[in-house]
Amino acid sequence: MGVYEKFKYPGVNLKVAMEMGLKEDEYKNACDILGREPNYIELGVITAMWSEHCSYKSSKKHLKKFPTEAEWVVQGPGENAGIIEVDGDICACFKVESHNHPSYIEPYQGAATGVGGILRDVFTMGARPVCAMNSLRFGPLNNDESVHLLEGVVSGIAGYGNCFGVPTVGGEIYFHETYQKNPLVNAFALGLVDRDKIFYAKAEGKGNPIIYVGAKTGKDGIHGATMASEEFSEESESKRPNVQIGDPFKEKLLLEACLELMQTDYIVGIQDMGAAGLSSSSFEMASKSDTGVELDLEKVPVRETGMTPYEIMLSESQERMLLIAKKGYESKVKEIFDKWDLDAEVIGKVTDDGFVRLNWNGEEVANLPAKSLADDAPVYDRKYAEPENQSQIKNFDLSSVDDPGGYPAILARMLSNPNIASKKWVYRQYDHMVQTNTVFLPGSDSALLRVKGSNKGIAVSSDCNGRYCFVDPYEGGKAAVLESALNVAVSGARPKAVSDCLNFGNPEKEGVMWQFVRSTDGMSEACKILNTPVVSGNVSFYNETESKAILPTPTVVMVGVLDDINKRIPSFFNKRGSNIIVAGNFNPKIDASEYLYKIHNKLEGSVGEVDLKLGLRLIDFLAEAAEKGLILSAHDVSDGGLCVCLAEMCFHKGIGASIDISRDIRTDELLFGESMPLVLLEVDDLHLKGVENLLENNNILFEKLGKTNGDLLTIRHNGHLVIDEKVEAAAEVYNESLGELMQ
């Protein structure tokens, strides 16, 4: 018997399949498709391709409800990234994706390779990456584990992005005990591409060569996709070999080589080797093109001796691409990659029989139908039901907590709260100015980038309030989309499209699946009303450790376009003596608020109905006000409520504010309660009447609260002075607290 005879079918039983992660019915389904038992290599490929991470088998049914089209959408879901028009032929290509489980096991490399993977998703479509962002979740910073994870993840993001040469321009971080042993690391990247230079993942043209390019294949990341499709347990730390190892310098070379190649007419299609590595890239390219491929695995460049076909197919080594070249241009392709000191080897050819055939030294060791594995994975209609305690969570009684008074001390506690405090300790580690496109620095409501060769700008914001999604997933899903849209809109930009990263617990549990369904229902409704289609994204299930699920966290990254970069609106007070106006739904409640969670240690209450039509009118108002130059600054009111939002606007230039509000409401609700949609506006006397008229024309309620002046933040409620703080002192608390905790 030859050394690879064991790979031939039959010979793999159900027990091995289940150990690899397949369910019994899935294994039987695979046997029915093949008409036989799969061999060991085939089973490994099937397990990876049918993992939750790759196949979306629990979410596919529900993702269909998202709107995905608009006149500015060039490419919706289904490719490596989504693409929208920015200015004529100039397009933005973007996506957000999770790297949660690897970042818990090995924080630095888990986060670094998350950044590397999302950058490849963008430049494999022909786009040069111009920015990166991240959305992070950790347990409270009162223990060494959380500090270690935050340090490692931030270092990994910085280490990869800074070396690669892409600015990390913003993001969000939130801390809650449910993320203690299951942090979330969601990485986003955006690139620019000309419409006629977009490339797709396709394997067309019988006989065309398949070329492997980039770094060599190692044993890192094997079965990474299946690891991301199961709950964590005490044994999870033993899975360190499943975490990939990144090399940002190699990725930079790969970027330049790919973009140079894309200026030629040598190639037909190109695909990143991401989750499931060579397996997913080869099967997906063949399936999309209704073709087949034949691979000679002994020709794959490897960095370790003795690697088997199984390991080569399932490795998730980084910085690798699979491309289909035009026949006869193999040497031309190789010349380009040789120049950039990268491997480029012909490892197979395109066929027309619909199968992926794997050879090893002339012997066929696997033979699988491409479309069945790539497109026909099991699709589950999971049962879902509202948890029994959900009504109790929503039924919050305001009288159950006292108004504590001592509001200056509470403001200090809120400003030092890591969920609100400045994230300067984090973003000072990122290079956010490389490429010189960054207009708004991290810490603003949204990132803002100039588009060279155009007057337009691109605004980006990442948001999700897990508290809201926990107490009411439907309204929480709406709120995630609307907050991200408002953060873009307060810069003056028009929100255009969404990339999402849907982080939830175990979908096999009815309560978790209910959270997912209701959250995505809310998101879909919001995207339809705001006219912001979903063009790309990712689902991350099984974010549970020892059966404790995370807060439902459907991260929304909103991308908007500002028609004239010179008409941008900053997030912070610009000058003294201007008017402060609050506009929108100014009906603050402490239900499900950061104040209730931080000060009273409660996570409960009703979010109330999120008024999306009012949100759309606010967005329209902000876009028109920016165009007419009516607003000095604007800030979305969110976590921490009015008082925190005012303080944040004061800090940037040390400009104080004097506020006077008469309203029959508890003072703690007025100061720290939350409601949406709501924005604060700074308007000078010259434009005050114009702003008021525009708000009235858009049917938006507003209230003049006071003036910017001096160096104090003072707030009076019904004639009583409740806040009287030096801006400089409050800013020090806000700016230094996170760094002090990390020490």
| Separation of CA 723 from chain center | 37
In terms of DSSP bridges, do strands 678-683 and 579-584 run parallel, antiparallel, or are they unpaired? antiparallel
Q: Which are the contacts of 121, defined by CB distance < 8 A and separation ≥ 6?
A: 80, 81, 95, 97, 189, 272, 274
620 a known binding residue?
A: no
Residue 460's DSSP bridge partners are 447, 559
316 is in an annotated binding site: yes
CA 538/CA 498 separation, integer angstroms: 12
Give the active site residue among 62, 99, 635, 717. 99
537 is in an annotated binding site: yes
DSSP single-letter state for residue 374: H
- The separation between the first and the last C-alpha atoms of the chain, rounded to the nearest angstrom, is 61
Q: Was 56 annotated as part of a binding site?
A: yes
Structure tokens at 651: 């800090």
Tracing tokens 């999870």 back to the chain, one arrives at 236
Whether residue 687 is annotated as binding a ligand: the answer is no
Q: Does 114 count as an annotated binding residue?
A: no
| Spatial separation of the C-alpha atoms in residues 68 and 535, rounded to whole Å | 6
- Does residue 53 carry a catalytic annotation? yes
538 labeled part of a ligand binding site: yes
Give the three-state DSSP class for 153. Answer: helix
**Is 353 annotated as ligand-binding?**
no
Handedness of CA 501, 506, 508, 514 (dihedral sign): negative
Distances (CA, A) of 146 to 150, 160, 175, 423: 6, 21, 9, 16
Asked whether residue 566 is marked as a ligand-binding residue, the answer is: no
The answer to the question of whether 244 is labelled as a binding residue is: yes
DSSP assignment string, 33-58:
HHTS---HHHHHHHHHHTSHHHH-TT
CA distances in angstroms from 574 to 196, 521, 633, 684, listed in the order given: 42, 39, 7, 10
Is position 391 annotated in a ligand binding site? Answer: no
- 121 is an annotated ligand-binding site residue: yes
| Residue 79 counted as an annotated binding residue | no
Q: Is 98 annotated as a binding residue?
A: yes
| 635 and 649 Cβ atoms separated by less than 8 Å | yes
Q: Which of 53, 176, 687, 717 is catalytic?
A: 53
76 carries a ligand binding annotation:
no
Q: Is 317 annotated as a binding residue?
A: yes
- Judge contact between 553 and 468, C-beta under 8 A: no
296 is in an annotated binding site: no
Q: Which residues are annotated as a binding site for ATP?
A: 56, 95, 500, 537
Q: Which residues are annotated as a binding site?
A: 56, 95, 97-101, 120-121, 244, 272, 316-318, 500, 537-538, 540
Q: Which residues are annotated as a binding site for Mg(2+)?
A: 97, 121, 272, 538
Active site residues: 53, 99
